[in-house]
A and B are shown apart, each in its own frame.
Chain A
Amino acid sequence: MNQESNVKGGEFIIKETQANQVFIPEEFSEEQTMMAQATTEFVDREVWPNKHRFEKKDYAFTLSLLKQTGELGLLGIYVPEQYGGLGMGFNTSMLVCDRISGATGSLSTAYGAHTGIGILPILLYGNEEQKLKYLPKLASGEWIGAYCLTEPGAGSDANSGKTKAVPSSDGKSFSITGQKMWISNAGYADLFIVFARIEEDKNITGFIVEKGTAGISMGEEEDKMGIKASSTRQVFFNDVVVPAENLLGERNGGFKIAMNALNVGRIKLAAACLDANRRIITESVNYANNRHQFNQPIAQFGAIKQKLARMAMKHWISETATYRAGQDIENQIASFEAQGLSPQQAKLKGVEEYAIECAILKVHASEAASYIADEGVQIFGGMGYSADAKMESAYRDVRIARIYEGTNEINRMLTVGMMLKKAMKGELNLIGPAMSVGKELMEIPSFDLPDADTLFAEEKDSLKNLKKAFLMVAGKAVEKFGMHVEEEQEILMAAADMLMEIYHLESGILRAEKIMAMGKDASLQTDMLRLFWLEAVEKIASAGREAIYSFAEGDEQTVMLMGLKRFTKIRHNINVKDVRRRVADKLIAENKYCF
């Protein structure tokens, strides 16, 4: 059921998507499911029981696990077969990333750094010789990769790096000098993707640097809050001579490589949060079922049920949106290949097309995972604060997810920024819909009620209105500030919050609808979707107000606030307490995450 999506990147905000246009996790094939189960089996057997070793900074253990994942074929899942990989599709690589990442952030980070930002720059930008030389070693795990972009003075502003690459007089090599920091996998990497500036180029350039090259030295392992056994070091390059054939992509093209690798890194990070969520929810339910207070399991208390239900709801929505976008990317890649693009170009452009969604997912999933880990600790009570229970490390490990692959602030601004740029380039028709929303604001509101016979009529009607709320706020902000809106970070972040909720809400509605279309029971999924809907509407209303108060005044403000009120008005008779209890009761009965 790999339906071709006709909704392009970012278009969800102006188009209505149908359930048959999205992929849902219930559609994974038997082969994909078997791959996921095999990965889980590996984690359950080799990783989960050894969780304490990561907290003791056992880097060698992380490395040995990476090597084992290589033997199982998990490192080369997305690498084409001619380069020693398995050549599976994008969403399958997401699924494996999801399942390998759940037990500890240490392995998740090491795996993500290797398969994402370690392998991808070569896969996406390498020439044939580079791919033949390096990809088989990286796909098998014989070599481990690391990605050296960040510098002491260049974090979020990645293109400002000071590392230099000086061309030799004969043009046959470059000499790289500079300092890179927060380099994941540095301690055991055999290959570094290094970004450096050649002469006075506007942008940085990517290079492939092998470990043994003279002039590379390392700082000590960083003492981190979490992901303790993921190696993170500074890497110093002192006159490191790299042959010219190791220049990756084009001179001056490194920033593009860095950004495109990060697009994939972002959506993969969303996937990497998912199995951690499942494990935390399962541990929490199990604990709540076994911990007795006041003569009953604490799972029977409403206060705990409320937490369990919200944890499940947040995870379910994250998972839904992540695999929807993953399949959209896979379909887009296939479509570009059908149009005659090389597989390499198709992979690159396929992800680039959905860069907005990648950023949205990264932020939303990392914040959902943070919430889930936090409540996991809370359900465990005092025990949750003890390093003997698994919650404590989960809580610390998850914190990095909001920071790496671009901070959530940068990503929030990127989502809206990229959308506006697409509109300016004429790739996304935001102006028309934004103008019609503006016109609608001046008219008498429609009193038509949605057709009650349609499935999710109220939710879908509300979704349409929420999109209008975003278009109203973003449209007016652009009208007011023009391209200078990029300097209005507070407004962009508020608009991003609206956008993220809309994408996730739509994904949730479509998943529940599609499950039903498959003839399956989706009553509890509908419950979770409705819980999310109510929360999303509140968030969108609040973010909308934040933006409006930040730039509109007088009559304009009044009109916009009234518009916002109109667009966030919903009709429902949902008893949130009962709905949450239903979801929680199912978790409690199954004693695990089960949706």
Chain B
Amino acid sequence: MKILVCISHVPDTTSKIQFTSDGKSLDTTGIQFVINPYDEFALTRALWFKEKEGGSVTVVNVGKANTEPTLRKALAIGADDAIRIDAEPTDGFAVASELISLIATEKYDLVIMGRESIDYNGTQVPGMVAALLDWPFVNACVGMEVEGGVATCIREIDGGKETVKASLPMIVAGQKGLVEEKDLRIPNMRGIMTARTKPLKVIPSISNEVATEAIKFERPAGKQACKMVSSDDVKALVDLLHNEAKAI
């Protein structure tokens, strides 16, 4: 099975988020970037497929050269080769547009990625890729097996789970459950050393699709002090909710 795992290069979850002085982009000073955790579940599941059913695992990222360490980490964990599409991932549509031509040309059997990236949490790319390619798509996938070119996937739905079947090739947007946190792999030292000998191909951007443009980022306003109202003074509470919070 020829598998492609799409990897986002995102700030570590403990990062303190600051914006540049013009407010137009993230200030990356001192920020450690990691493989998007949702994508890491996808990558681990892909490696299981490879180890059990055979095949290959390619990782791809849409980004500039600064994202290569993240791809090399994926190689260190066990991916066979990596591709970087040399473009700024401006929005979900731009990323999806870059990915589809690669996927179509390389004829992957399965494309897995995280259901969202933890930086902008757009949750757009997997669905867009599937739609643009007109391939089957399973979102919020928490378990999957493949037999004879047919995938049986479990996906999370409101209040329960749904089991669906789809023929390969297909797009899967995964999350925890696809594998568990304890299954995530720490690259071993030999893996890190072999990562430098594995192919990392850079291909030029093929799409100029930009649907949106970031004008400004701002942090949420700080929390205001809590106002305490005596439990028998309902009038004061109503007054505050109506006149100050304008909630009622």
Binding site for B on A (CB under 8 A): 30-31, 33-35, 38, 41-42, 45, 71-74, 76-77, 86, 88, 96, 589-592, 594
Q: Is the CB of B188 within 8 A of A38?
A: yes
Return chain A residues, CB-CB under 8 Å to B76.
34, 38
Interface size class of B (residues with CB under 8 A): 10 to 19
Least CB distance from A425 to B in Å reads 39
Given contacts A86-B193, A589-B16, A72 and B73 within 8 Å (CB-CB): no
- Cα separation A591 to B187 with both chains bound (whole Å): 27
Q: List 7 A-B contacts (CB under 8 A).
A: A35-B189, A41-B186, A45-B186, A71-B188, A76-B189, A590-B16, A594-B30
Contact of B190 with A by CB under 8 A: yes
Residue from A31, A591, A592 with most neighbouring chain B CB atoms (10 Å):
A31
Given contacts A30-B72, A590-B16, A594-B30, A72 and B193 within 8 Å (CB-CB): no
Q: Is the CB of B196 within 8 A of A31?
A: yes
Return chain A residues, CB-CB under 8 Å to B30.
590, 594
Return chain A residues, CB-CB under 8 Å to B195.
31, 34
Residue in B14, B186, B196 whose CB lies within 8 Å of A38: B186
Residue in B14, B69, B73, B188 whose CB lies within 8 Å of A73: B188
Q: Is the CB of A35 within 8 A of B186?
A: no
Least CB distance from B78 to A in Å reads 13
- Cα separation A74 to B190 with both chains bound (whole Å): 9
Return chain B residues, CB-CB under 8 Å to A592.
14
- Cα separation A153 to B7 with both chains bound (whole Å): 60
- Cα separation A589 to B16 with both chains bound (whole Å): 9
Q: Is the CB of A38 within 8 A of B189?
A: yes
Return chain B residues, CB-CB under 8 Å to A594.
30
Q: Total A-B residue pairs with C-beta atoms closer than 8 Å?
A: 47
Q: Is the CB of A31 within 8 A of B193?
A: yes
- Cα separation A42 to B196 with both chains bound (whole Å): 21
The residue on A at minimum CB distance from B77 is: A38
Q: Is the CB of A72 within 8 A of B69?
A: no
Residue from A33, A72, A77, A88 with most neighbouring chain B CB atoms (10 Å):
A72
Q: Is the CB of A72 within 8 A of B16?
A: no
Across the A-B interface, the 8 shortest Cβ-Cβ residue pairs: A73-B189, A72-B188, A73-B188, A41-B186, A38-B187, A34-B192, A73-B190, A42-B186
Known: A33-B69, A38-B76, A590-B30. 6 other contacts (CB 8 A): A30-B72, A31-B192, A34-B192, A38-B192, A72-B186, A594-B30
Residue from B187, B192, B193, B196 with most neighbouring chain A CB atoms (10 Å):
B192
- Cα separation A33 to B187 with both chains bound (whole Å): 12
Q: Is the CB of B187 within 8 A of A34?
A: yes
Return chain A residues, CB-CB under 8 Å to B186.
38, 41-42, 45, 72
Least CB distance from A321 to B in Å reads 23
Return chain B residues, CB-CB under 8 Å to A77.
189
The residue on A at minimum CB distance from B69 is: A30
Given contacts A42-B186, A45-B186, A594-B30, A35 and B192 within 8 Å (CB-CB): yes
- Cα separation A31 to B197 with both chains bound (whole Å): 12
- Cα separation A489 to B193 with both chains bound (whole Å): 47
The residue on B at minimum CB distance from A594 is: B30
Least CB distance from B159 to A in Å reads 32
Least CB distance from B28 to A in Å reads 13
Q: Is the CB of B16 within 8 A of A86?
A: no
Q: Is the CB of A34 within 8 A of B69?
A: yes
Least CB distance from B63 to A in Å reads 16
Residue from B30, B186, B187 with most neighbouring chain A CB atoms (10 Å):
B186
- Cα separation A130 to B190 with both chains bound (whole Å): 24
Least CB distance from A288 to B in Å reads 17
Q: Is the CB of B188 within 8 A of A34?
A: no
B14-53 interface code vs A (CB 8 A; 1 in, 0 out): 1010000000000000100000000000000000000000
Q: Is the CB of A74 within 8 A of B189?
A: yes
The residue on A at minimum CB distance from B76 is: A34
The residue on B at minimum CB distance from A590 is: B16
Return chain A residues, CB-CB under 8 Å to B188.
38, 71-73
Return chain B residues, CB-CB under 8 Å to A76.
189
Return chain A residues, CB-CB under 8 Å to B196.
31
- Cα separation A594 to B31 with both chains bound (whole Å): 10
Residue from A35, A38, A77 with most neighbouring chain B CB atoms (10 Å):
A38
Return chain A residues, CB-CB under 8 Å to B193.
31, 86, 88
Least CB distance from B67 to A in Å reads 12
The residue on B at minimum CB distance from A40 is: B186
Return chain A residues, CB-CB under 8 Å to B16.
589-591
Return chain B residues, CB-CB under 8 Å to A86.
189-190, 193
Interface residues of B in 99-150 (CB under 8 A from A): none
Residue from B30, B188, B195 with most neighbouring chain A CB atoms (10 Å):
B188
The residue on A at minimum CB distance from B30 is: A594
Interface residues of B in 186-213 (CB under 8 A from A): 186-190, 192-193, 195-196
Interface residues of B in 168-193 (CB under 8 A from A): 186-190, 192-193
The residue on B at minimum CB distance from A92 is: B189
- Cα separation A591 to B192 with both chains bound (whole Å): 30
B69-103 interface code vs A (CB 8 A; 1 in, 0 out): 10011001000000000000000000000000000
Least CB distance from B84 to A in Å reads 15
- Cα separation A35 to B69 with both chains bound (whole Å): 12
The residue on A at minimum CB distance from B189 is: A73
Return chain B residues, CB-CB under 8 Å to A42.
186
Return chain B residues, CB-CB under 8 Å to A34.
69, 72-73, 76, 187, 192, 195
- Cα separation A395 to B186 with both chains bound (whole Å): 30
- Cα separation A583 to B186 with both chains bound (whole Å): 33
Least CB distance from B210 to A in Å reads 30
- Cα separation A33 to B189 with both chains bound (whole Å): 11
- Cα separation A38 to B78 with both chains bound (whole Å): 14
- Cα separation A34 to B191 with both chains bound (whole Å): 11
- Cα separation A33 to B34 with both chains bound (whole Å): 13
Least CB distance from B100 to A in Å reads 30
- Cα separation A165 to B17 with both chains bound (whole Å): 64
- Cα separation A35 to B190 with both chains bound (whole Å): 10
- Cα separation A86 to B187 with both chains bound (whole Å): 14
Return chain A residues, CB-CB under 8 Å to B189.
35, 38, 72-74, 76-77, 86, 88, 96
- Cα separation A357 to B189 with both chains bound (whole Å): 28
The residue on A at minimum CB distance from B73 is: A34
- Cα separation A34 to B14 with both chains bound (whole Å): 18
Return chain B residues, CB-CB under 8 Å to A88.
189, 193
- Cα separation A88 to B196 with both chains bound (whole Å): 14
- Cα separation A34 to B76 with both chains bound (whole Å): 9
Return chain B residues, CB-CB under 8 Å to A589.
16
Least CB distance from B65 to A in Å reads 12
Return chain A residues, CB-CB under 8 Å to B192.
31, 34-35, 38
Return chain A residues, CB-CB under 8 Å to B187.
34, 38
- Cα separation A170 to B65 with both chains bound (whole Å): 67
Least CB distance from A79 to B in Å reads 11
Return chain B residues, CB-CB under 8 Å to A96.
189
The residue on A at minimum CB distance from B193 is: A86
- Cα separation A30 to B65 with both chains bound (whole Å): 13
Return chain B residues, CB-CB under 8 Å to A30.
69, 72
Least CB distance from A275 to B in Å reads 16
Least CB distance from A46 to B in Å reads 9
The residue on B at minimum CB distance from A87 is: B193
- Cα separation A45 to B72 with both chains bound (whole Å): 21
- Cα separation A45 to B184 with both chains bound (whole Å): 11
Least CB distance from A582 to B in Å reads 16
- Cα separation A76 to B193 with both chains bound (whole Å): 13
The residue on B at minimum CB distance from A592 is: B14
